[in-house]
Structure 1
Amino acid sequence: MSANGGTKAIVAALAANLGIAVTKFIAFLLTGSSSMLAESIHSVADSGNQGLLLIGGRRAKREATPQHPFGYGRERYIYAFIVSIVLFSLGGLFALYEAYHKASDPHPIENWQWVPVVVLLAAIVMEGFSFRTAIKESNLIRGKQTWVRFIRRAKAPELPVVLLEDFGALVGLVFALFGVGMTLATGNGMWDAAGTAMIGVLLVVIAITLAIETKSLLLGEGAERSELAKIEQAVTGGPEVERIIHMKTLYLGPEELLVAAKIAVPACESAEELARGINAVEARIRREVPIARVIYLEPDIWSAAAQRAGTGQAADTAVPEAVGDDAAGAGAPEAATKADEVAGRPGS
Structure 2
Amino acid sequence: MTALGLMSGTSLDGIDVALLRTDGETHVSRGPAATYPYRPDQQAVLHDALQQARSLGTRDARPGILAEAERALTEWHAEVVNRFLDTHGLTPAEIDVIGFHGQTVIHRPERRLTVQLGLGPTLARRTGIAVVYDMRAADVAAGGQGAPLVPVYHRALASGVAERPVAFVNIGGVANMTWVGRQGELVAFDTGPGNALLNDWCERWTDIPYDVDGRLGGSGNSNRNVLGQLLKSDFFATPAPKSLDRNSFDVTLVEGLSPADGAATLTRFTAEAIAASVGLVPEPPQLFIICGGGRLNPTLIQALRDVLQAPVIAAEDVKLNGDSMEAEAWAYLAVRCLRGLPITFPGTTGVRTPLSGGLVARP
- Name the TM-score class by shorter chain: under 0.3
**Higher RCO, 1 vs 2 (CA within 8 Å, ≥6 residues apart):** 2
Give the structure with the higher percent helix: 1
Give the structure with the higher percent strand: 2
TM-score (norm 2): 0.23
